[in-house]
Amino acid sequence: MLEHMTSMAGIEQVLREASMRVTQPRVAVLAAVTANPHADTETIISAVHEGHPNVSHQAVYDSLKLFTNLGVIRQIQPQGHIARYESRVGDNHHHVVCRQCGNLEDVDCSVGASPCLHASNDHGFKIDEAEVIYWGLCPECQALDN
């Protein structure tokens, strides 16, 4: 789905495919999420207001909730951090988070032996996603510590 969200026409297509009405606030919010991977709500609101100052905060919040519920975007909230949003969905990628500055980056896939990605007991759940978060220090914070 991410490849469709590189143009306004693509964003509108994604909204239609998710059976949503195409509205200016929805297009603006989805464009902001796409242009600002791993952005928090305030960053998304600021990005939306750059081109559409009349879009309300509530419209942004409502759109983010709707998009997340429909699987158009993904909400990420590592422990101790505020919620962030990304338009990369459906590929079960993971994230690495800096313990010091909070920088968050995508990690395409776990490599090597990854038994934790398959639940030893699914308790009857139909599991469709495994969330892995790697923690450490980003290169910038490592340089500050030296």
CATH for 65: 1.10.10.10
Indicate whether 112 belongs to any domain. Answer: yes
Q: Is 138 annotated as a binding residue?
A: yes
Same domain, 11 and 70: yes
pLDDT at residue 76, rounded to an integer: 94
Which residues 6+ apart lie within 8 Å of 65 measured at CB? Answer: none
pLDDT at residue 130, rounded to an integer: 75
pLDDT at residue 114, rounded to an integer: 52
Q: Is 109 annotated as a binding residue?
A: no
Residue 117 belongs to what domain range? 91-145
Series of mean pLDDT values for 10-residue runs along the chain (146 residues): 69 92 95 95 97 96 96 92 92 88 86 61 82 90 86
Burial 76-113 (b: 16+ CB within 10 A, else e): bebeeeeebbbbbbeeeebbbbbeeebebeeeeeeeee
Indicate whether 86 belongs to any domain. Answer: no
Among 76, 106, 137, where does a domain finish? 76
Indicate whether 85 belongs to any domain. Answer: no
Indicate whether 109 belongs to any domain. Answer: yes
Q: Is 116 annotated as a binding residue?
A: no
Among 20, 52, 76, where does a domain finish? 76
Which residues 6+ apart lie within 8 Å of 33 measured at CB? Answer: 39, 44, 64, 67, 73, 85, 86, 87
Total number of domains in the chain: 2
